[in-house]
Chain A
Amino acid sequence: MKVPRYTTQKVAFGIITAAAVGVLIPLVLVIAYIVLQGIGAISWEFISAMPRGGMREGGIFPALVGTVWLTIGTAITSIPLGVGAGIYLAEYAPDNWFTRTIRLAIINLAGVPSVVYGLFGLGLFVIFLRFGMSIVAGSLTLGIMTLPVIISTTEQALTSVPQSFRVVNASLGGTTWQGVRKVILRQALPGIMTGVVLGLERAAGETAPILFTVAAFFLPRLPHSIFDQTMALPYHLFVISTQVPGMPIQIQYGTALVLMVFVLTMNLLATLIRRYFRRRRQW
């Protein structure tokens, strides 16, 4: 029997639509469930107090502060280097085997497992450079992990600026660097900012790279300096959901909720930057 081809199409489209919807449903369910279960734990004390009673009471303040510090540290280490490398690839790099090697290196950096970054950070920053387990070591490790995202989004943002901007710059006697600094970078800034925020978002939620480089199991005080250990939200969620018996479930969901809000706010920020500037774009 020959099935009419439009029937085949209907069935196929039905299956594909179901698959696409099926991908989104767990996301909505999970976010809704974490919010419902965790909202009860959220209070000013939960956000602003030290953990007490073997972390089963009190708040998550030091973990929250630690994650903020690590995110700032990651930004400081990864943004200048990543944007610089992106500028090189987009505006200066000749099309030859050496540039292709750089691109290969970036693709591979993006694919290195996060726990291997942790080992690398342990070997280089903690042991070899004697930073110890510290915010510096953790930030540098997370920063290098974030580099490929920032480099590639910067390059993308720069190459999407039309060639005519460069031509006009050159015709007015501007050098390449003058063009980059005064024209191209300004045009590409929203794209670069979006990429930076998305990269930092991923770093803020990472656990494996900070396991052996900075994260403290339990440290009920704020870090004294950048050479101090700190608690961090993702590692704290790991600890209280697997390592501490008799942990009240509400605190676990509350911590997961705070981490999700932290990370998704950055995601939202990136989306808003993109939306806002796309409307005001000059080309």
Chain B
Amino acid sequence: MQTPEMPKDLDWREFLVEQLIRLMGVSAIGFVLLIFLFLVREGVPALVEVPLSNLLGQRWYPTFEVYGLVPLVLGSLLVTVGAIAISLPLGVATAVFIGEIAPDWVREILKPGIEIIAGIPSVVIGFIGIQLVSPLVRQFSGAPTGLTALTGVLLLAYMALPTIISIAEDALDAVPDSYRHAAYALSATQWQTIWRVVLPAARPGIITAVMLGVGRAIGETMTVMMVAGNAARMPLGFDAFLRPVRTMTATIAAEMGEVARGSTHYHVLFVVGLALFILTFLINLAAALAIFRQERGGGRRFLA
């Protein structure tokens, strides 16, 4: 399958089709560049109009032209780290269950079940968060409101699970059976084999799973906007999880609808988007490079 040149006996229509298909393949690069270009185009005026010391400040009060991004970035980090802390052990355990322990019929239920979790719209999860999870959080924590960082963390953890489970399971699946057989031959139990042999062998893939889970959690918008309370304050101190928090994504979604097009506030929101884009780009780049190192030319199965 070589790059098509124009041999004499080749139909020109076929040549056109092949060039078109080639163009479609290359278009993926074009779209990434296009997204970057338009974020920069709309974001750059803010970098000109707003001094850097303002953007790096600790207060976000757009009405008074105070655009400190730090509380938003910390808010995103707080909920993401919290969500991964919950979904990593739960997700890897579920992947081990599906890949190593479960009988076939249980696997047949779990796999589509996890696909369904991935398919639930984030706005529905946010709605459930408001109706069911946030009253529970308020009851158990005694906080004045149930719309807290913790509520966001719990729901984000659930949303990151399908990503982590399916990729971690791929990683377990890729460990050759000969490793397991060797461990059994040394009279290891099944658990010892999983814990000492299979999991360490699958570690790069599991790290990839976590990174893509982080990317998912940091980019999630509707759920955190609906349940995390949206107070743009520095999320510091021990009780940060029990207070409202505001993420970068929620800020864009909540404020873009209300700003005047072309205003400084409008351009600053694009800067927030640009920061998100670069952040997730780096996370995914790292994950992708890890995959490429594992199996050259791979990576595609990790997308679906």
Q: Which residues of A contact B (CB under 8 A)?
A: 5-6, 8-9, 12-13, 15-17, 19-20, 22-24, 26-27, 30, 33-34, 80-81, 84-85, 87-89, 91-95, 100-120, 122-124, 127-128, 144, 147-149, 151-153, 155-156, 175-178, 195, 198, 201-202, 204-208, 211-212, 234-235, 237-238, 241-242, 252, 256, 259-260, 263-264, 266-267, 271
Q: How far is the CA of A267 from the CA of B118 in the complex (A)?
A: 10
Given contacts A9-B190, A102-B25, contact A148 B119 (CB under 8 A): no
Q: Are B123 and A205 in contact (CB under 8 A)?
A: yes
* Residues of A close to B34: CB separation below 8 A: 120, 124
* Residues of B close to A15: CB separation below 8 A: 93
Given contacts A16-B96, A17-B101, A89-B25, contact A113 B219 (CB under 8 A): yes
Given contacts A24-B113, A27-B117, A156-B300, contact A5 B192 (CB under 8 A): yes
Q: Are B123 and A107 in contact (CB under 8 A)?
A: no
Q: How far is the CA of A17 from the CA of B191 in the complex (A)?
A: 13
B65 lies within 8 A of chain A by Cβ: no
Having A101-B29, A111-B212, A234-B124, one finds 19 other A-B pairs with CB under 8 Å, namely: A17-B101, A20-B94, A23-B90, A24-B113, A27-B120, A106-B303, A108-B285, A109-B32, A111-B280, A113-B218, A113-B280, A115-B219, A127-B261, A175-B11, A201-B119, A202-B119, A207-B121, A208-B221, A237-B123
Q: Are B256 and A211 in contact (CB under 8 A)?
A: yes
Given contacts A211-B256, A212-B256, contact A153 B304 (CB under 8 A): yes
Partner of A114, one of B3, B221, B284, B304: B221
* Residues of B close to A127: CB separation below 8 A: 261
The prevalent SS among residues of B at the interface is helix
Shortest Cβ distance from B215 into A: residue: A111
Query: B95-127 CB contact bits vs A (8 Å, 1 = yes)?
Result: 011100110000001101111110111111011
Shortest Cβ distance from B222 into A: residue: A207
Of the 9-residue stretches B12-20, B55-63, B174-182, B231-239, which lies at the interface with chain A? B12-20
Given contacts A109-B28, A212-B257, A264-B116, contact A24 B110 (CB under 8 A): yes
Q: How far is the CA of A273 from the CA of B143 in the complex (A)?
A: 48
* Residues of B close to A92: CB separation below 8 A: 1, 3-4, 18, 21-22, 25
Given contacts A123-B270, A264-B119, contact A16 B101 (CB under 8 A): yes
Partner of A84, one of B25, B276, B302: B25
Whole-angstrom distance between the Cβ of A259 and the nearest chain B Cβ? 6
Partner of A108, one of B22, B32, B96, B130: B32
Q: Are A116 and B116 in contact (CB under 8 A)?
A: no
Q: Are B121 and A206 in contact (CB under 8 A)?
A: yes
Q: Are A234 and B189 in contact (CB under 8 A)?
A: no
Q: How far is the CA of A147 from the CA of B93 in the complex (A)?
A: 31
B66 lies within 8 A of chain A by Cβ: no
Q: How far is the CA of A198 from the CA of B114 in the complex (A)?
A: 13
Q: How far is the CA of A178 from the CA of B10 in the complex (A)?
A: 11
B53 lies within 8 A of chain A by Cβ: no
Given contacts A26-B158, A115-B249, A152-B304, contact A87 B284 (CB under 8 A): no
Q: Which of B119, B161, B261, B292 has the most CB of A within 10 A?
A: B119
Q: Are B218 and A19 in contact (CB under 8 A)?
A: no
Whole-angstrom distance between the Cβ of B19 and the nearest chain A Cβ? 10
B299 lies within 8 A of chain A by Cβ: yes
Shortest Cβ distance from A20 into B: residue: B97
Q: For residues 196 through 231 of chain B, which have their beta carbon under 8 Å from a beta carbon of chain A?
A: 212, 215-216, 218-222, 226
Q: Are B28 and A102 in contact (CB under 8 A)?
A: yes
Whole-angstrom distance between the Cβ of B35 and the nearest chain A Cβ? 5
Whole-angstrom distance between the Cβ of B153 and the nearest chain A Cβ? 15
Shortest Cβ distance from B272 into A: residue: A119
B38 lies within 8 A of chain A by Cβ: yes
Q: How far is the CA of A254 from the CA of B273 in the complex (A)?
A: 33
B52 lies within 8 A of chain A by Cβ: no
20 residue pairs from A and B, CB less than 8 Å apart? A13-B191, A16-B93, A16-B96, A17-B101, A20-B93, A23-B91, A23-B165, A24-B109, A30-B120, A105-B28, A108-B288, A111-B284, A119-B39, A175-B10, A198-B115, A206-B122, A207-B221, A212-B257, A256-B127, A267-B119
Q: How far is the CA of A26 from the CA of B133 in the complex (A)?
A: 11
Given contacts A256-B127, A267-B115, contact A149 B273 (CB under 8 A): no
Q: How far is the CA of A263 from the CA of B10 in the complex (A)?
A: 45
B2 lies within 8 A of chain A by Cβ: yes
* Residues of A close to B191: CB separation below 8 A: 5, 8-9, 12-13
* Residues of A close to B47: CB separation below 8 A: none
Q: Are A115 and B221 in contact (CB under 8 A)?
A: yes
